A = this chain, B = another copy of it.
Amino acid sequence: MKQVEILVNIFTIEDEEIKVLLMKKQTEPFKGYWLLPKTNVSDEESINDIAQNILLKLGLENTSIYQYHAMSDFSREPGSHFISISYVGFLDIIQVKINETETKYEKEWFSIDKLPKMAYNHVDIVFNNLNFLRNELKKSTTLQLFFPSDFSLPELQRVYENLYDIKIDRRNFRKKFLQNDLLEETGEYTEDSRGRPAKLYMFKPSIPEVNIL
């Protein structure tokens, strides 16, 4: 028996931790374990459409995702061949709070340092996907994909500092974006903050491919 399934692996950063969105498995085997949101591939829907539908199910309609990797798994049932195709995304925590809607599914964001009991080989898949994300997010064009809405530069800097566990100089970080002409000011400012409000920017529609890190 051969089966193809689509996995959607969304990361965010909250409270200085990298988090991943998982769902609780409702049926045996592995009932009560957590796993990456997934759907079996039917004869009617393209794999990209299925990935989009998983986003809908998750209440995260406007999230950009990237197809990453397909892998075979023979360990689930004797004689079975499962092929899992991972899609990877990143969603700014502010967008999570704005966009995430209620669904009937039991889902939760977990820190990658404190993952729950997970079904199949999904722990390995999550870390492979995270590694892929870390590589992709070094490029300005990928960053643009994952930040379609407005954002402040300090907010973005915190994403990089936590995702790669590094410290970045504020002035040099700004320069990267402003000197390469990647952004335009929206004229708006952050409102929630304690100190001085930060300017909000958006990516210009067409930007050069620049290395952020």
Contact A43 B85 (CB under 8 A): no
0/1 per residue, A1-28, Cβ < 8 Å to B? 1101000000000000000000000000
From 66 to 80 in chain A, residues with beta carbon under 8 angstroms from any chain B beta carbon are 67, 69-72, 74, 79-80
Chain A residues 102-144 with CB under 8 Å of chain B are none
A47 part of interface (Cβ distance < 8 Å)? yes
Q: Which listed residue, B1, B4, B42, B46, touches A43 by the CB 8 Å rule?
A: B1
Residue A44, interface by CB 8 Å: yes
Answer whether A46 and B70 are a contact pair too, CB < 8 Å, given A2-B4, A83-B41: no
User: Counting CB contacts under 8 A, is A176 at the interface?
Assistant: no
Indicate if A149 sits at the interface (CB-CB under 8 A). Answer: no
Establish whether residues A43 and B83, one from each chain, have CB atoms under 8 Å apart when the complex forms: no
Is A190 an interface position by the 8 A CB rule?
no
A70 to B48, CA, bound (A): 10
Total interface residues on A, CB under 8 Å, equals 21
**Please, which residues of chain B bring their CB within 8 A of the CB of A42?**
2, 81
Q: Name the residue among A1, A46, A70 with the largest chain B CB count within 10 angstroms.
A: A70
B46 touches A72 (CB 8 A): yes
| Contact B46–A74 (Cβ < 8 Å) | yes
CA distance A22 to B79 in the complex (A): 33
A83 to B48 CA separation, bound complex (whole angstroms): 11
B46–A79 touching, CB < 8 Å: no
- Nearest 10 interchain pairs by C-beta: A46-B72, A43-B81, A47-B72, A2-B43, A70-B70, A70-B85, A4-B4, A47-B70, A4-B83, A47-B83
12 A-B residue pairings within 8 Å (CB atoms): A1-B43, A2-B4, A2-B41, A41-B83, A43-B80, A43-B81, A47-B71, A47-B72, A48-B72, A67-B70, A70-B70, A70-B85
